[in-house]
């Protein structure tokens, strides 16, 4: 399978385990106000979506921005789930128009993109949950290379990618 045409939902191990258990990527309410529609974020970036990198709150309350490697180490690995473009058909402009997100939230997302050198042109969303039947690839970052996650999971976890 040619994975270069896929859109990717990037995440780290702790979230990935929840996604596997649910067999669904659930729309996120992060950056959403009450009136806004939750979304599942995807990226066409084939290496890593910089906006998926999280920060770590230290014991003294300081937020430390993590590198991709630090997120992998602190978060239980880096994973991505690939889907066809029609699964996440809405680009950034569609998101802004359709999500109901406030101008402040949109401005914050733009700011995050700029800080992290991410491109909003790479961002796509689904307003619906993305269940396992739509997953075309499930991969883990192993030694700086994306490889099938099927062989990297504990024996009790089975991934059924179709």
- Helix and strand totals (H; E) in the chain: 4, 11
Structure tokens at 4: 């270069």
Helix, strand, coil percentages (3-state) for the chain, rounded to 5, are 35, 25, 40
pLDDT digits (tens, 9 = 90+) for 76-101: 788 999 999 999 999 999 999 999 98
Which residues 6+ apart lie within 8 Å of 139 measured at CB? 3, 79, 80, 81, 82, 146, 147, 148, 149
pLDDT digits (tens, 9 = 90+) for 13-64: 888 999 999 999 999 876 555 568 899 999 999 998 888 766 666 677 776 6
3-state secondary structure of 34: coil
Q: CA 128, CA 25: separation in Å to the nearest integer? A: 9
pLDDT value of residue 133: 96
Give the number of other CB atoms < 10 A from CB of residue 119: 16
Q: CA 92, CA 124: separation in Å to the nearest integer? A: 6
pLDDT value of residue 120: 93
Q: CA 28, CA 14: separation in Å to the nearest integer? A: 15
**Phi (first) and psi of residue 52, to 5 degrees:** -80, -15
- pTM metric for this prediction: 0.82
Q: If you average pLDDT over every residue of the chain, what do you get?
A: 83
pLDDT value of residue 161: 44
Residue 162's pLDDT band, with cuts at 50, 70 and 90, is: very low
């Amino acid at each position: 399978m040619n994975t270069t045409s896929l859109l990717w939902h990037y995440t780290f191990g702790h979230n990935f385990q929840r996604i596997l258990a649910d067999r669904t990527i659930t729309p996120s309410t992060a950056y959403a106000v009450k009136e806004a529609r939750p979304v599942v974020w995807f990226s066409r970036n084939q290496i890593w979506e910089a906006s998926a990198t999280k920060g770590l709150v230290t014991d003294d309350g300081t937020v430390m921005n993590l590198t991709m490697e630090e997120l992998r180490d602190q978060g239980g690995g880096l994973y991505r789930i690939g889907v066809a473009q029609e699964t996440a058909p809405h680009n950034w402009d569609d998101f802004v128009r359709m999500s109901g997100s406030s101008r402040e939230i949109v401005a914050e997302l733009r700011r995050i993109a700029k800080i992290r050198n991410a491109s909003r042109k790479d961002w796509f969303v689904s307003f619906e949950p993305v269940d396992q039947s739509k997953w075309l690839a499930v991969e883990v970052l192993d030694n700086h290379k994306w490889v099938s996650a099927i062989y990297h999971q504990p024996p009790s976890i089975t991934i059924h990618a179709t």
